[in-house]
Each structure stands twice: as structure tokens, then as C-alpha cells.
Amino acid sequence: MERGARESELALEARQLSVIYGRTRALAGVDLAVGWGERVALFGPNGAGKTTLLRTLASLTRPTTGSVLIGGQPIARDPLRARRLVGVVAHQTYLYDELTARENLRFYARLYGVAAADQRVDAVLEQVGMYQRRDERVAALSRGMQQRLALARAVLHDPPILLLDEPDTGLDLASFQVLEALLLGSAGRERTVVLASHNLEQGLRLAHRVVLLVAGRVVYAAPSASLDPAALEAVYRQHLAQR
């Protein structure tokens, strides 16, 4: 991690974040603070603002009002620094269909300035169980295999922060176990993770804290240890009924 990244106790902070598209308010004054090494699961119905929040935290969407800080520094001041500290898995894989799995990662390794790129690419392919399929074109891979490769791309530069938008989409049990392993960084260092999911049980198990978004607002937050899946589902349904 680059010098000064941990000067703040918080890895990520959103302050009164609002995003408006035309007449649609995707986020409405969201406050969120995430400590280093903390894993937060975002839940909410379709259209709740989960994807917009993750994109804004990743500096891919500019907020209409409010601000985002990474390691205590506003991302608007230095978006390139923010992107070096963050790995993103979005709905779109950002993979090139005509390139092989290995070629895709080599391309992104150059973009990120990854040292010893070839060795790092092969190590990450091995980590996600894709090494044996490294020379297959992305277009020939299943959705689950493409998702594994997207996870590999997200951790290629060993970022301390991961932002994951429904990363379990298309994953079988073995692939989900790969996802769990990737939440830990090198040498057992826990990554800071914010993940959006519709799977309450899996999200609850992966996260230290859960946050519920409804209509662009945080309506509930609690430590995962204080909930079981049934209790979380009850809270979820209660807040949806109040819409």
C-alpha cells in the first residue's frame, strides 16, 4: 500500500452523498464509514442505489452533492490515487471477449503498472482456479468463469479495498469459495470490502456489518453478529413494506 494511505482510521467514507440523474435521485444524502479491514454488505431492492453507491465510491460516478474519502483524502483531489487503492467487480466484467484470460490480465497489469506482471498474472489465475484455462478466449468461457476472471482482474494490483457489485452472480459453490478467499489479502491481511448482494444469507456470513438501502437512503445498519438470516429477512421486509 502506498505511503499515507492509512493515515485515516477509515478506509472509505461517504459524506451526505447524493446522485441525481435527470429527475431520478439515485442516492439521497448517504453517509457511510468503513474502517480498514471491515467488510460491509449492502442490501436493498432493485433501484435502491447500491450500484450507484459502489460506482461513486470507486470514483466511476461523480456525486451531485457530498463527497467520498479514501484513506482520509477526497477522491476528487486525486482520482488516480483512489483507483490504485481500489479493486472493482461490477455488473460489467470489463473483459475483452477476443482476448484470452491471460491476455486480459496482462493488459490490465500494464495499466496498473504491476511489477513482475507475468508472474503476478499467473499467480492470480492460479488463485481463482483459472490457470488451466489461461489461453482460452473470454468469449468461450461460461458466465461463472468470466466472473472468476473479473475477480482476478479486481485483485491483480493487490488493492487494500474491494468494491463488489453482486460478485456471486453466476458462481457455483466452488467459485463462491474462491470469492471468500479473495476477501483476504496477501499474508493474511484482511481487505476492506463493500459488497452489494441479493443473497441475504451469504452476505450476512461474509460481512462484519450490514447496511440496508431503500430509495437511495440508508434505512438500517447493524453488526452481522447481532443478526441471523431470519432476523435480517424480517428487517428487510419491514423496511420494504414502509416504502
Binned at pLDDT 50, 70 and 90, residue 100 comes out as very high
Beta strands 209-214 and 73-74: pairing type?
A: unpaired
pLDDT greater than 90 at residue 225: yes
Q: Looking at the domain assignment, is residue 4 inside a domain?
A: no
pLDDT classification of 79: cutoffs 50, 70, 90: confident
Q: Is 158 left (phi over 0), alpha (psi -120 to 50) or beta?
A: left
User: What is the percent of the chain with per-residue pLDDT over 90, rounded to a whole number?
Assistant: 74
Query: Rounded mean pLDDT of 168-191?
Result: 73
Rounded distance, CA 179 to CA 155, Å? 11
Residue 30 lies in a domain: yes
In a domain, 5, yes or no: no
**Is residue 203 domain-resident?**
yes
pLDDT number for residue 168: 79
Q: What is the mean pLDDT of residues 194-216?
A: 93
Instruction: Summarize pLDDT for 108-145 with one digit per residue, the tens.
Output: 999 999 999 999 999 999 999 999 999 999 999 998 89
- Does residue 172 have a pLDDT over 80? no
Q: Note whether residue 1 is domain-resident.
A: no
Q: Write the CA distances from 27 to 15, 74, 161, 167, 189, integer angstroms.
A: 12, 18, 22, 21, 32
Least confident among 15-19, 30-34, 225-229: 225-229
Residue 175 structural domain: 10-241
What pLDDT was estimated at residue 188? Answer: 53
Within a domain: residue 2? no
Confirm if 211 and 195 have CB atoms less than 8 A apart: no
Measured CA to CA, the distance from residue 168 to residue 155 in angstroms comes to 16
At 115, which CATH number? 3.40.50.300
Residue 101 has pLDDT above 70, yes or no: yes
Weakest mean pLDDT among 21-30, 60-69, 121-130, 197-206: 197-206
Residue 75 pLDDT class (50, 70, 90 cuts): very high
- Residue 159 clears pLDDT 60, i.e. is over it: yes
Q: Is residue 65 part of a domain?
A: yes
Domain count, the chain: 1
Q: By mean pLDDT, which of 145-159, 173-187, 199-213 is the weakest?
A: 173-187
In a domain, 211, yes or no: yes
Distance CA 60, CA 53 (A): 10
3: confidence class by pLDDT, cuts 50, 70, 90: very low
